[in-house]
Amino acid sequence: FWDVQSIRVENVPVSELPQIFADMFGWQEQVRAVAGAYSALPDAERAQAVVLAYNYGEASAVDYFGSKLGLPRAISGHNQYGLWGPGATSGHVVVAIGFSERQLLQFYDEVTPAASVSLKYAIPEDSHLTIFVCRRPHQSLQESWSQWKYLS
């Protein structure tokens, strides 16, 4: 009925998998890495920590798979997640996925690599991810949220 090869959902280079599959490939591995970084936090930090995802796909993965691993719902500045905002969290401790260290250092004094995920068949932007733990924010997430929000 449909010629899957002729359908192009987005305009990014794809891996060996068609993009419709590559977009979600490795979500469970990503979320396990986030959960490992989150669970390694001291109890007092974990109680206030938030998971911050660069894009709605990573945030959705955390929201879908993360509850079974003890993760809180993710926040993200991307698309609809950006409109939902950071909630009441202060952002004093953040477990971040999808960001570069350089991006996070614009908002935090302390950015520490905690885990990494390499996925051959994921889309290029998700094929090599570092999970960072961020501490000592320059501002609360509520104060800086307009800088985190973006549409694409």
101 residue type, one letter:
E
- Asked if residues 132 and 107 have their Cβ atoms less than 8 Å apart, the reply is no
Q: Is 124 left (phi over 0), alpha (psi -120 to 50) or beta?
A: alpha
**What is the structure's pLDDT at 21?**
67
**What global pTM score does this model have?**
0.87
Name which of 23-32, 79-88, 130-139 the model is least confident about. 23-32
Read off the pLDDT band of 27 (50, 70, 90): confident
- Asked if residues 48 and 63 have their Cβ atoms less than 8 Å apart, the reply is no
The per-residue pLDDT for range 138-147, each reduced to its tens digit, is 999 999 999 9
The per-residue pLDDT for range 78-93, each reduced to its tens digit, is 999 999 999 999 899 9
Whole-Å CA distances, 150 to 3, 25, 34, 52, 62: 33, 23, 22, 14, 19
Read off the pLDDT band of 1 (50, 70, 90): very low
